[in-house]
């Protein structure tokens, strides 16, 4: 089944720095989504970017999508300790069901 793969698996940064993580997927999509998961909690939707969009912003989040390379990136600017979480990309399969990658674990230290 189609699945996004995030890179890196883990990322450790200091407060104020930017965090960038990437997602690659296998087949054509109509959208790509990013989710955040705090430890032991459910996932929270962050942003959805459609296949005809190249870049999207939401607060301190910036998402890019390159359909020719089948990849997306999530940038968190001016990170805070509260950004410590796992971040997942997800893409819908041909039946519209979301397939998730293994995630990037981000640790932001004060």
- Residues lying near another protein in the complex (CB under 8 A) are found at 1, 3, 30-31, 33, 35, 40-45, 48, 88, 90, 92, 95-103
Cβ closer to another protein: 102 or 107? 102
| CA–CA distance, 16 with 21 (Å, rounded to integer) | 16
Angle at 90 (CA atoms; ends 84, 95), nearest 5 degrees: 160
Residues 6+ apart with CB under 8 A from 41: none
Q: Where are the beta strands (DSSP E) in 8-101?
A: 10-14, 19-24, 31-37, 43-50, 55-58, 61-66, 71-76, 85-92, 98-100
Cβ closer to another protein: 19 or 34? 34
Minimum distance of another protein from residue 56's CB (angstroms) = 14
Minimum distance of another protein from residue 90's CB (angstroms) = 8
Cβ closer to another protein: 43 or 108? 43
Minimum distance of another protein from residue 95's CB (angstroms) = 6
Minimum distance of another protein from residue 36's CB (angstroms) = 11
Cβ closer to another protein: 42 or 59? 42
| CA–CA distance, 100 with 84 (Å, rounded to integer) | 19
């Amino acid at each position: 089944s189609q699945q996004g793969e995030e890179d890196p698996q883990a990322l450790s940064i200091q407060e104020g720095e930017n965090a960038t993580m990437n997602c690659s997927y296998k087949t054509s999509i109509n959208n790509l989504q990013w989710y955040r998961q705090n430890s032991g909690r459910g996932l929270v939707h962050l942003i959805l970017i459609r296949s005809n969009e190249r870049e999207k912003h939401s607060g301190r989040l910036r998402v890019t999508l390159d359909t020719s390379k089948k990849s997306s990136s999530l940038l968190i600017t001016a990170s805070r300790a509260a950004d410590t979480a796992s971040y997942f990309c997800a893409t819908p399969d041909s039946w519209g069901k979301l397939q998730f990658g293994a995630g990037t674990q981000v640790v932001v230290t004060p």
